[in-house]
């Protein structure tokens, strides 16, 4: 046998022995590295929502009115999607969230749903449309939902979308900055004859499910699932219970993470752990004393004495961060952090703010098909949290 053959044989024996050692349960793998944030793209324009296509590419909405398709690595814009209806880009309004149909298939069922600020009689309001994504074009576009009444102003559109397991669609709606704790007569979020400050549940064609809660008030609109919301800008389905959870903006403090129950009243503008704007920071000025129960639903978590401005919500279910599995993740605009809320069932166990050193207003947070966590920032970045 040649010297070269002998060397290769020795190397093979060594490799086999090393593989055997690695398979020994007494040898532990090296500890994983700390989570890190990697910027994949910094060229977006006020991105607001994102959805992953089956091939790993991403649909991203940009507040000014465009939807783009990003490559699977997130690094480049492959196309700008045509077919988006006219959008009111003003203040907090614009092109907002986007989700895929629960039965999405690029060939046979390519439906995409998005929310946006729509002009109309009296001002503007949140609308939801759907269309078939064919290449980079939306076809057969139709508006399936409109928030009424439309009002002047440019704040509190809410506007996250989430599909339930039964394939009905939740839409979160702000109260358009109309409710004032100092003015008891202005309580749109409590008025079930309007769609302001509500979560609604609709079918994919915009029709109303027959099993929506019966609110028992004259003129109550059948689309309403819950009410008493201020400005819910995060929505996610709990991976175990299948229930909707939302994160929503309080006034001065009092931002909330809520488990949203059918027919639930979440208290705004009668109760809040926040204070009316301009009041001294503290707890004595809490709206209605703060405590929601027993008349209203208590939040799972709330932030005081100042606001983090929550936007985007996700439950982590992947394998990349086993210690984070089951936690809720909330993006923060004012706080410029990603909040992780550890849960025991429906109860908060602990929470921590992450990646504050980035100094980024985190608008949306999603788990990717690769198990990493993806963030959109108001500055135009797509960031992947990995290790």
Rounded to whole angstroms, the Cα distance separating 90 from 324 reads 37
Strand pairing partners for 98?
114
Question: Which of 113, 288, 282 has its CA nearest to residue 190?
Answer: 288
Helices and strands in the chain: count of H runs, count of E runs: 1, 24
Q: How many Å separate Cα 109 from the centre of its chain?
A: 24
Query: Exactly one of 156, 229, 249, 292 is catalytic; which is it?
Result: 156
State the CB neighbour count (10 A cutoff) for residue 210: 7
Q: How many Å separate Cα 105 from the centre of its chain?
A: 23
**Residues 234-254, buried b or exposed e (16+ Cβ, 10 A)?**
bbbbbeeeeebbbbbbbbbbb
Rounded to whole angstroms, the Cα distance separating 386 from 110 reads 30
Torsion sign (Cα): 197, 201, 202, 204: positive
Told to judge if 292 belongs to the known catalytic residues of this protein, a careful annotator would answer: no
Rounded to whole angstroms, the Cα distance separating 10 from 82 reads 62
- Catalytic positions, written as ranges: 156
């Amino acid at each position: 046998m040649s010297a070269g053959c002998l060397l290769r044989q020795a190397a093979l024996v060594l490799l086999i022995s090393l593989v055997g050692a690695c398979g020994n349960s007494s040898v532990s793998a090296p500890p994983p590295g700390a989570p890190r944030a990697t910027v994949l793209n910094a060229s977006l324009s006020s991105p607001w929502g994102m959805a992953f296509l089956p091939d790993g590419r991403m649909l991203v909405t940009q507040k000014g009115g465009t939807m783009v398709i990003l490559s699977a690595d997130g690094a480049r814009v492959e196309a700008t999607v045509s077919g988006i209806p006219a959008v009111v880009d003003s203040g907090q309004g614009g092109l907002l969230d986007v989700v895929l149909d629960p039965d999405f298939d690029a060939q046979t069922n390519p439906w995409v749903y998005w929310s946006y600020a729509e002009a109309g009689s009296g001002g503007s309001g949140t609308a939801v449309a759907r269309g078939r994504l064919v290449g980079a074009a939306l076809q057969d576009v139709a508006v399936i939902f409109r928030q009424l009444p439309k009002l002047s102003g440019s704040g509190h559109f809410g506007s996250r979308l989430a599909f339930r397991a039964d394939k009905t669609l939740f839409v979160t709606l702000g109260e358009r900055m109309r409710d004032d704790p100092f003015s008891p007569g202005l309580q749109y979020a409590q008025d079930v004859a309007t769609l302001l400050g509500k979560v609604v549940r609709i079918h994919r064609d915009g029709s109303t499910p027959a099993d929506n809660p019966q609110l028992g008030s004259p003129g109550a609109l059948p689309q309403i699932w819950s009410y008493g919301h201020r400005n819910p800008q995060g929505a996610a389905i709990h991976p175990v219970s299948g229930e909707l959870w939302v994160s929503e903006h309080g006034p001065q403090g009092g931002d909330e993470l809520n488990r949203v129950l059918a027919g639930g009243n979440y208290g705004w503008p009668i109760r809040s752990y926040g204070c009316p704007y301009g009041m001294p920071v503290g707890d004595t000025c809490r709206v209605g004393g703060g405590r929601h129960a027993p008349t209203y639903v208590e939040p799972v978590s709330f932030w005081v004495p100042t606001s983090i401005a929550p936007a985007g919500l996700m439950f982590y279910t992947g394998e990349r961060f086993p210690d984070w599995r089951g936690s809720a993740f909330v993006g923060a605009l004012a706080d410029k952090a990603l909040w992780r809320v550890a849960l025991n069932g429906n109860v908060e166990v602990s929470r921590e703010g992450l990646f504050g050193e980035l100094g980024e207003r985190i608008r949306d947070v999603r788990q990717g098909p690769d198990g990493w966590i993806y963030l959109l920032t108001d500055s135009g970045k797509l960031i992947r949290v990995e290790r």
